[in-house]
Structure 1
Amino acid sequence: MNIDELNTPAALVDVGRMSRNIERMQRRLDSLGASFRPHVKTTKCEPIVRAQVAAGARGITVSTLKEAEQFFANGVSDIVYAVGMIPTKLPQALALRRQGCDLKIIADSIQSAEAIAAFGRDHGAVFEVWIEVDVDGHRSGIAPEDDLLITVGRALVGGGMNLGGVLAHAGSSYEYSKHEDLVRIAEQERAGAVRAAERLRAAGLTCPVVSIGSTPTALSAERLEGVTEVRAGVYVMFDLVMHNVGVCGTADIALSVLTTVIGHQEDKGWAIVDAGWMAMSRDRGTQRQQHDFGYGLVCSKNGAPLSDYVLSSANQEHGVISRIGSVDRDIAKHFPIGTRLRILPNHACATGAQHPEYQAIAEDGTAETWPRFYGW
């Protein structure tokens, strides 16, 4: 099958770009002396994760226990579930561990730590637990200097669990666009996680792993002393948010949505396509950045950006392409009905999640279907 035979809308993966993205990240972290544990929530796709592991990744990060189950079934056993553990999910986590999965879970509260320890005691199980550290006030975790850090560590160890390390994610890095700011946030992330580990060790608690990472900080960090591993996810595809952050160009974005022009509103300068928000997602992450790409940047069928055109609005199954800054009253001539286009996404994770499969496009234009999965 080739791209002209595909039904639209379809999620396309440019295999050449994806491979270069994988190599770039792995090479960089190798040079900085840290292990790499990619976050697979972006793709949820076995062939892509296999390529990441083949390039040198050591273990994976997941955001759902279903991801852990799927990838463990495909031979990956070293897995971190990087979402705060709740009691109702402990049986699912225990089932994975009893099957031989080296699953690590995280906690960032005394309530979570005590629940994990109690469940473990009741079921004769020892979980490896990492403490989530808040290095930038972005989302969740315990501040490195907070006494709660030691309290949680002691509750885990005293409850018979294995304190495996600390984990941090500098999500605030998405808010910047200058390299010097990304370097600063990367160092803040590193220093905060290392400080948390030092405090745990000073309190007599083991802390072998110091795990940090986001795509912007992983690509901007200048040193990783004290860090044992880095996690990043969206780098494998990149997207327009990452383009605005400044860590990739549009030529690096490996995920796009193939769409077909189905109509026009010439007086408005609109071309109507069959990719709406069901194909692109409702994510408007670039709206808050320096360059707003609407619902996505329009490219030719072969992937070359048409820099003046964006998917400016989207209904469920209809998208509207228009020119930035002025009405294109010749849009029907520029994009006749039946024209095939690619749309680069704002957020690769969200757009990928709209599709049950990817069409992996090789250098020669042939397509191979790669399934992806949903659920929790």
Structure 2
Amino acid sequence: MATQTIDDLPTPALILDRAILRRNLKRMSDRLREAGVMLRPHLKTAKSVEIGRMAVEGHDGRITVSTLAEARYFADGGFRDILYGVGIIPSKLAAVTELRRRGINLRVVTDNLAVAKAIADAAKDGDTFSVFIEIDSGGGRAGLPYPALPGLLDIARVLHEAPGVDLAGVMTHAGHSYHQSTPDGIAGVAEQERLAIVTAAETLRAAGIPCPIVSGGSTPTAMHSRDFTGITEMRPGVYVFNDLDQEYIGSCGAGDIALSVLASVIGHYPHRNQVLVDAGALALSKDISAQEFQPKVGYGTIANPPAAGMAVIECSQEHGFVAADDPLPYGNLPVGTRVRILPNHACITAAAYDRYYVVDSDLDGGKSVVDVYDRINGW
């Protein structure tokens, strides 16, 4: 059977460069190991057992997920210590119990006293739970706001005193690090993140409540933090692939983006200095995060000549409108030409696909498909 190349693939298709992926994984792995911090990668980005196994190589195998579907998928793939990092609700506890009865240490998160009581009640029949209390370190999404930490001790006491419930620790996501673009700015957020969860942990311990795990998480803060004192684990996610947003934030370089969308030119429109490609909103997403620091990236930029640097400036459902400041080289972009589009936000772009076509730029420049990795979607 002949080797498949990217020119043989239907478009749009999701392309993963294994060589860049491995470098990204090693960089974060080495960084946290040297800092003395455990790595619990957030696999909501990759959603792939193959990539997950690569991410935890040399570590103890703990991971983070964002859906129960991911939890089941990674449990089936052999992972045993899984943090479901989205606030739990009572109606989902039965699904958590199902996995825990299989020997999976599926841990849950809450910042709500009523939910803590529901967890305690659910444990009365002999089932067990492992729970993190979520802290808002400044991102404004979920968690008990720092520095007030309202209700922390009330929630912790309910969980700590309930038979069958393990209060695993505290956690946060420093999502506001994504709005910084300098090492100093990100380091400032990282210190805020650290203080929030370390203060919460110290508050619990001062009240006689154990807090074994102090969990931070975001790719920028994992890369740029200057002090991990008191943090026991970090949960970066998008570092496995990186994207334009991470490049302009400063978490990676231009050559560190492992993911791209393969698209085909489907039309020429010289009167408006544009070409169309067959990757629109459903193939690229309409995430515009990287535009905060570089407005001209549009919905993704093209990586390969002769269209390198051009951007998808607008999307409809299945159409991407590619433009540039200079006249487009239509003669070098005939209809059918394949282009590779770098995403603004790898997590959301990848969610449109059920597989990765894996290439390796260290082998042949990334022209041949060397593997196919599956991924889990849905909830």
TM-score by length of 2: 0.94
1:56 positional shift = 2.8
Deviations 1:138-166 (A, max 9, x none): 21111344241111000112232211100
Amino acid across the alignment from 2:65: V
Q: Summarize deviations over 1:190-212 as a string: whole Å, max 9, x none.
A: 11111100000101101000010
Q: SS of the counterpart of 2:303?
A: strand
Identity %: 42
* Cross-structure match for 2:47: 44
Q: Residue in 1 aligned with 2:254?
A: 250
Alignment partner, residue 308 of structure 2? 306
Shift of 1:337: 1.4
In 1, the alpha carbon distance for the partners of 2:276 and 2:139 equals: 42
The code of the aligned residue for 2:66 comes to S
1:118 aligns with 2:118: no
CA drift at 1:338: 1.7
Mapped to 1, the partners of 2:7 and 2:21 lie a distance apart of 21
Native 8 Å contact 2:139 2:173 kept in 1: no
Q: Which of 201, 223, 230 is matched with 2:227 structurally? A: 223
Q: Tell me, what secondary structure is at the counterpart of 1:54?
A: coil
Q: Contact (CA 8 Å) 2:97, 2:128: kept in 1 or not?
A: no
In 2, Cα distance between the equivalents of 1:290 and 1:315? 21
Distance 1:220 1:305, change over 3 A: farther
Instruction: Give the drift of 1:305.
Output: 7.7
Q: 1: CA distance between counterparts of 2:296 and 2:352? A: 21
CA offset at residue 51 of structure 1? 0.8
Contact 2:170-2:213 within 8 A present in 1 as well: yes
Please say if residues 286 and 292 of structure 1, whose CA atoms lie closer than 8 Å, have aligned partners that are also in contact.
no
1:373 corresponds to which of 355, 371, 376: 376
Corresponding residue to 2:358 among 351, 357, 360: 360
1:58 corresponds to: 61
Question: Which range moves more in the overlay, 7-16 or 289-298?
Answer: 289-298
Q: Deviations over 1:64-85 (max 9, x none)?
A: 1111110111100011011111
Distance 1:345 1:200 in 2: 41
Gaps of 5+ in 1: none
The reply to whether residue 233 of structure 1 matches residue 241 of structure 2 is no
- Cα displacement (A) at 1:109: 1.1
Q: 2:170 is matched by which residue type in structure 1?
A: V
CA contact (8 A) 2:296 2:311 kept: no
Paired with 1:262 and 1:17, the residues of 2 have a C-alpha distance of 29
Q: Following the alignment from structure 2 to structure 1, what is the Cα–Cα distance between the partners of residues 150 and 136?
A: 13
Residue 224 of structure 1, CA deviation: 0.8
Distance 2:18 2:6 in 1: 13
Aligned to 2:137: 135
- Find runs of 4+ consecutive structure 1 residues off by over 6 angstroms: none
Contact 1:256 1:344 in 2 (8 A): yes
Supply the distance in 1 between the matched residues of 2:316 and 2:150 (Cα, whole angstroms).
Answer: 49
**What 5-or-longer segments of structure 2 have no aligned partner?**
none
Question: Secondary structure of the residue that 2:261 maps to in structure 1?
Answer: strand
Deviation, structure 1 residue 281: 1.2
**d(CA) in 1 for partners of 2:219, 2:376:** 23
* 8 A Cα contact 1:271 1:322, kept in partner: yes
Q: 1:158-187 deviations in whole A, cap 9, x for unaligned?
A: 232211100111110001101101111111
SS in structure 2 of the partner of residue 320 of structure 1: strand
Task: In structure 2, give the amino acid aligned to 1:120.
Answer: A
In structure 2, how many angstroms separate the alpha carbons of the residues matched to 1:188 and 1:75? 35
Deviates more, 1:334-343 or 1:252-261: 334-343
